[in-house]
Structure 1
Amino acid sequence: MKLPKEILLSQLLTYNVKGNISLNYGNGENVWMHPPVHRILGWYTRPSNFDLQRNVWRLNQISQIIDNEIYVKGDPAISDLGTLNRFPTLIQANLININGSKIGVIADFLFDMKTGRIKYYLVSRSNPNIPGSSRWKLEIENINDQQPGLVFCESNSLDDLSLIKSSLKNEFLQKGKKIIGRFDDMKNIASNRLEHWLEEDEDINQNLDFEQKSFYNDERKSISFRDKNEDDPWI
């Protein structure tokens, strides 16, 4: 089976690793990377829950991926968890904004299977191990510095990043904001129509009052009793 061009680290770690003679090396546990150049070198697996040793693999040892299994060529390098924990990594590092405040945690990344070059990172708001949590895209160009356990970016908040995966909670909040926004729009339209109607009613009342005053203030010509008698043919 042809290897994918790009793959997420989280997906790579879910695969069960097998050798050429059907040896089972277990699932992936964590990544082996070179943070300064944003490149993954390999990963390591744990053969069993009772084994203290770890099998370290290079990316170029992957021969094929079939279903949920990775077939590797050659033998792994044997190490222990204490040594591997001293390897530098950006996974689980806190993301710091331009104001020096924590805005998230580096949870995952997408990388090129052939070169190991990381395309971009995925950021979680809090604990990345919570199932179904949201993921935001952090471009490599957005990172201006990095230290053990810390990644500094030029953004102010997660809202400045592209949302790649939305959690149910985040979708509910976004839909709630849209409903509130639509309600506010409807309220503003109704208020504007009411104000316009009141202004028209006030103009009508003013015109009516003006006409009534004009009717009572018109000067009328007074006709004398003599003129009335002369004009009356019956008198």
Structure 2
Amino acid sequence: MALPQELLLSDLLKLRVRCDQGLEHGAGLVGWMHPPVHRLLGWASKPSAFGGRRLVWRLNQLRGLSELEAMVDGEPAETDQSILDGLPTLFEAALTGAEGTVLGSVVDAAVELRTGRILHYLVARSDPRLPGSSRWRLTPERIVDQQPGRVATALVGLDDLPLARSSVRQQLLRRSRRWRDQVSEETSRLRGQFQQVGDRFEERLEGWLEEPPWQDAGEDPADSRRWDEPEFPEPEDRRSRRPRDLDPLDDWEETDWPEPDPPEARPDARPRQRQDPEPDPWV
């Protein structure tokens, strides 16, 4: 398998080393670097679970990568754990901010495999061995000073660095922030639509209130006929002769109507029979 252009040191240390003779030399243990120039020189592997024997491989000996193995060419340099512990390194160093407070620790690095140049470091706030913890990118240009076990920067907090990998908590916070922003945008949009509908309704209502209810649309108010004016006006001479205060019932003649006949004079009337009062039962 061809080598990628860049690789995380943690991914390289997970692979088991196999040489060109087909022998396996154990998994990676620690990186070997030169801190002043921020360059990775190689890495060390642990061939056996027992003993302090360690094998150091140069980065230019790497020939290929597979899913579980790293193929190398040539012989390694043998050493022990005490010598590896004395090598200068920035890995697992404490990262301090502008006020000297500890912000996290340097736990990983992205390396250009062709030259060994460290592109950026990865910083963890908590224990890097915890699964799902966040990682922030720290470029070498942001490092102000470096000492054994300490890397000084001018950062106020880790939020000043770009986030390389978010933890479950960071993902929940980011998703909740994004959902809150989306809900706020949707609420603002709906509020604007309701405001537009309300303004249109208010304009139409004001227009309806200004127009008379008896006037049709497009009708000229000067041509509209008043309801109290008659359709066919009387002639001027008749209106002048008719007194305004005259009651039409004053000219009523009662003799014009015949009086009704009494009941006795009607031919179909029957004589009334006098009825005696009922006798008193006590007499």
TM-score (norm 1): 0.76
5 Å matches for 1:2-21? 2-21=2-21
Match of 1:49 in 2: 49
* Counterparts of 1:76 and 1:170, CA distance in 2: 42
5 Å matches for 1:191-206? none
User: Does 2:63 match 1:63?
Assistant: yes
Once superposed, which parts of structure 1, at least 4 consecutive aligned residues long, lie more than 2 Å away?
173-189
5 Å matches for 1:146-161? 146-161=146-161
Match of 1:133 in 2: 133
5 Å matches for 1:86-101? 86-101=86-101
Superimposed CA distance per residue, residues 109-132 of structure 1 (whole angstroms, 9 cap, x where no aligned partner): 111111111011111111111112
User: Does 2:32 match 1:32?
Assistant: yes
Match of 2:281 in 1: none
Match of 2:227 in 1: none
* Counterparts of 2:137 and 2:33, CA distance in 1: 19
Match of 2:118 in 1: 118
C-alpha displacement of 1:176:
3.4
Give percent identity, aligned residues only.
43
Match of 2:268 in 1: none
TM-score (norm 2): 0.63
- Count of equivalent residues: 200
Q: What letter matches 1:176 in structure 2?
A: S
Q: Which has the higher contact order (CA 8 A, sep 6+)?
A: 1
Unaligned runs of 5+ in 1: 194-232
**Secondary structure at the counterpart of residue 10 of structure 1:** helix
Q: What letter matches 2:113 in structure 1?
A: M
* Counterparts of 2:128 and 2:180, CA distance in 1: 30
Match of 1:102 in 2: 102
Q: What letter matches 1:79 in structure 2?
A: T
Q: What letter matches 1:35 in structure 2?
A: P
Q: What letter matches 2:138 in structure 1?
A: L
Query: CA 1:188–1:85 in 2, change beyond 3 Å: closer, same or farther?
Result: same
Higher alpha-carbon deviation: 176-185 or 159-168: 176-185
Superimposed CA distance per residue, residues 59-96 of structure 1 (whole angstroms, 9 cap, x where no aligned partner): 11112223321111111111111110111111111111
Aligned-residue RMSD, C-alpha = 2.5
Q: Which has the higher helix share?
A: 1
**Secondary structure at the counterpart of residue 85 of structure 1:** helix
* Counterparts of 1:183 and 1:114, CA distance in 2: 48
* Counterparts of 1:133 and 1:168, CA distance in 2: 8
Q: What letter matches 1:158 in structure 2?
A: L
Match of 1:229 in 2: none
C-alpha displacement of 1:154:
2.0
